Structure 1
Amino acid sequence: MRVLARSLAPAMVLTLAGTGIAQARAGDDGAHWLRAWGYTVPPGESDGRDALTYDEDLVPAGARIQVVQRVTGDAMTVELEVRGVLPGHTFGAHVHESPCGEDPADSGPHYQNVPGEDPGAANPRNEVWLDFTADSQGRGTAVSRHAWVFRPGEANSLVLHEHATGDHGVAGGRVACLTVAFTD
C-alpha cells in the first residue's frame, strides 16, 4: 500500500520499507486530502504493504485499488478507482473499521458515522458506500460525499464485496481489501 496525504500546509513525510506516508493539515479551514493505493496479492504473499485479494476470479492478483479522501471542515468526499478486476462485474465497496488481514473478516464491520446495532443504521448516509460496475477493461470508479468526517482511528480499510450492496448494507463476501488509515 502507498499512502499520500496532502494539504496547503507543509507536510511531514515518512518513508518505511517502500511505503510513502505524507500528512499535513491546512490552515483554519482544516482542508486536507489523503491518497492510498495498492496492488492486490493473495494474503499468504503479502508483505503487509499490499492490497489483498481473497477471490482471484473477481479481483486477480495485480489489480490496483486506489482511494482518495478529501476533507473540508466537517465534510468529506471519498473516491474509489480500481483497475484489473473482472470486467462487467458489479462490486459493493465500503469503508471498514479495522485494517485488512489474512482472514477477510479481519477488516471488521462497516464504519458507521452513528454506530448502531439496528440493521437500519447500515445505509449510504451513515456509511461510505462505493459500489461500481467494472467496464470492459476491468476499471471502475465511485464517489461518496458526506456532511461528516471519520472519528480518529476508527476507519482503517476499504473492502470490495462480491456484489452490489442491498438492504442493510449486505454485499456478499469480501473479495479484496486495502488498508487505509483514513483521516479525520
Structure 2
Amino acid sequence: MKFRSKASASAVLAATALLAMPPTVASAGGGSPVGRAEGRFLPSSYFPPDAVFPPDAVTYDWTKVPVGTHVTVVERTGARTTGVELAVSGLLPNRVYGAHAHTKPCGRAPEDAGPHYQHIKDPHQPSTDPAYANAANEVWLDLTTDARGRAVAESTHDWRFRRGEARSVVIHDHGTMTDPGDAGTAGARLACLTVPFV
C-alpha cells in the first residue's frame, strides 16, 4: 500500500494514533466465527488513480467518518443462521449512523459497493419496498455512538448469505428508514469496509 506522499501517510498515522481501541464485538447469532474484517478508514484520494484499489476501509466523508476511525466486522454462522457484528471507534460522538451489508466490495466511489444484500431480492431496484427492504430480509447494523464515538451493533438472521453476493458493510449518514418509498434508505454513503462474507 503506497501513499501519494510522506505527508499524507504521516497525517493518517498521526490520526490513527489518537484513537482508542475499538469496543469488543458481541456474539450475534450464537454461532461460530467464520469471517472477520477490520481496518482504519482511509480516504480513497490518498491512492494513485492507476493503482488497484488497495484499502479495505474507505471513508468518503472525513467530517462524519474521520480518517483513522477503527472498524471491525465479524460474521458468525450456525446450521441455518447468520450473525453479523459491527464495532467502531472514532466516529462522531452521540450520533446515529445507518449501516448495512452491501453486494460488492468497496471502491473509490461510494456507489461501487452496490445495493443492499437481500435474502429475497426485490425485483424492482433500487429497493424501497418494506416487503423487501426490512431488517429481516437485509442486514441492518445501525449504530448510536457514545460520548467517545464508540458503538456496537449486531444483526441475526435465520438464513445464510449466498456465496459471493455479500461483500461489504457501508456506513450511512443517518438511521435506516422504514416507510414505503424510503424503506432501507439511510442517507449518503459515508464509509465502506470490504468484508469476505461466507
TM-score range relative to shorter protein: 0.7 to 0.9
Could you give the per-residue CA deviations for residues 99-131 of structure 1, whole angstroms, max 9, x where no partner exists?
Answer: 000000000000000001262210000000000
1:105-116 matches, within 5 Å, as 105-116=111-122
Name the structure with the higher helix share.
2
Choose the corresponding residue for 1:170, options 174, 180, 185: 185
Relative contact order (C-alpha < 8 Å, sep 6+): which is higher?
Answer: 2
RMSD over aligned CA atoms reads 1.4
- Aligned counterparts of 2:155 and 2:34: Cα–Cα separation in 1: 14
Residue 52 of structure 1 corresponds to which residue in structure 2?
58
Could you give the per-residue CA deviations for residues 30-76 of structure 1, whole angstroms, max 9, x where no partner exists?
Answer: 95521110100111225613300011111100001100000111101
Aligned residues: 154
1:158 counterpart = 2:158? no
Kindly indicate whether the alpha-carbon contact (under 8 Å) linking 1:32 and 1:72 is maintained by their aligned counterparts in 2: no
1:44 maps to a residue whose letter is: S
Q: CA deviation at 1:160?
A: 0.2
Residue 37 of structure 1 corresponds to which residue in structure 2?
38
1:85 counterpart = 2:91? yes
Residue 135 of structure 2 corresponds to which residue in structure 1?
124
What's the TM-score once normalised by structure 1's chain length? 0.80
List runs of 5+ in structure 2 lacking aligned partners.
1-30, 48-52
Which stretches of structure 1, 4 residues or longer, exceed 3 Å deviation after superposition? none
Name the structure with the higher strand share.
1
2:185 maps to a residue whose letter is: V
Residue 151 of structure 2 corresponds to which residue in structure 1?
140
Greater alpha carbon shift after TM alignment, 47-56 vs 135-144:
47-56
Q: CA deviation at 1:132?
A: 1.1
1:105 maps to a residue whose letter is: E
Kindly indicate whether the alpha-carbon contact (under 8 Å) linking 1:31 and 1:73 is maintained by their aligned counterparts in 2: no
Kindly indicate whether the alpha-carbon contact (under 8 Å) linking 2:33 and 2:74 is maintained by their aligned counterparts in 1: no
List runs of 5+ in structure 1 lacking aligned partners.
1-29
